[in-house]
Structure 1
Amino acid sequence: MVTSYRPLKYIKFENRIPVSYELQNNDCYDILRYVLVTSYRPLKAYMHKLGFCRFCTVRYDASGQDLDNMFVHLTNVSIQKHGEEYNSIHGGKWPVRTLRLYLESTRGKTKTDKLFWDMEWLLVHSLIAVAPIMASDRHCFECYGYDIIIDDQLKPWLIEVNASPSLTSTTANDRILKHKLIDDTLNVVLPPDGVPK
Structure 2
Amino acid sequence: MTIYLYKEGLVRFGTDKFTLNDLENPFRHLTNTAINKLSPGYAEMKENVGSGCKWTFSQLRRYFQQIDVADWLLWQKISVLVILTVLSQAKYIPSSANCFEFLGFDVLVDNRLKPWLLEVNLSPALGNDCDVDRLVKKPMLHDMFDLLGLPLSNMSWSIHNYCCDESEENPRNCITPVLSIKSSVVLIHAADRWRKKHRKMSAKQPLKNKFQDTKNLRAPSAKEKSSYKHVFLHKPDVFPEALTETQIINRPVDKKLSNTSNKWGNGRDWKNAPPHEGKWVRIWPMNLGANYDATHTSDKAIVLEMIKFHKIARDIYKKYPTASECQLNDYLQVEMNMSREIWIPPL
TM-score (norm 2): 0.40
In the alignment, what sits opposite 2:18? 60
In the alignment, what sits opposite 2:267? 195
Distance 1:90 1:195 in 2: 42
Letter of the 2:87 partner, please give it.
Answer: I
- Once the two structures are overlaid, the 10-residue window that deviates more, 48-57 or 174-183, is 174-183
- Secondary structure of the equivalent of 1:53? strand
Which sections of structure 2, spanning at least 5 residues, go unmatched? Answer: 152-264, 271-347
Indicate which of 130, 143, 152 corresponds to 2:111: 152
TM-score (norm 1): 0.68
CA-CA distance at 1:61 after TM superposition: 3.5
CA-CA distance at 1:191 after TM superposition: 5.3
Across the two proteins, how many residue pairs are aligned to each other?
A: 151
Note the alpha carbon deviations across 1:31-60, whole angstroms, 9 max, x for none. xxxxxxxxxxxx101101110111001122
Distance 1:108 1:56 in 2: 21
Verify: 1:44 aligned to 2:116, yes or no: no
Verify: 1:161 aligned to 2:120, yes or no: yes
CA-CA distance at 1:108 after TM superposition: 3.5
- Once the two structures are overlaid, the 10-residue window that deviates more, 158-167 or 187-196, is 187-196
- Secondary structure of the equivalent of 2:144? helix
Letter of the 2:32 partner, please give it.
Answer: N
Distance 1:121 1:107 in 2: 24
Pairing of 1:116-155 with structure 2 (within 5 A): 116-155=75-114
Change in 2 beyond 3 A, CA 1:165/1:136: farther
Pairing of 1:51-90 with structure 2 (within 5 A): 51-62=9-20, 64=21, 66-86=22-42, 87=46, 89-90=50-51
In the alignment, what sits opposite 1:95? 56
- Kindly indicate whether structure 1 or structure 2 has the higher relative contact order, using CA contacts under 8 Å at least 6 residues apart: 1
Between the two proteins, what is the percent identity of the paired residues?
32
Q: Write 1 or 2 for the structure with the bigger share of helix.
A: 2
Which sections of structure 1, spanning at least 5 residues, go unmatched? Answer: 1-42
- Secondary structure of the equivalent of 1:158? strand
Which protein shows a greater Rg?
Answer: 2
Letter of the 1:46 partner, please give it.
Answer: Y
Q: RMSD of aligned C-alpha atoms?
A: 2.2
Note the alpha carbon deviations across 1:177-197, whole angstroms, 9 max, x for none. 111121111111125793344
In the alignment, what sits opposite 1:28? none
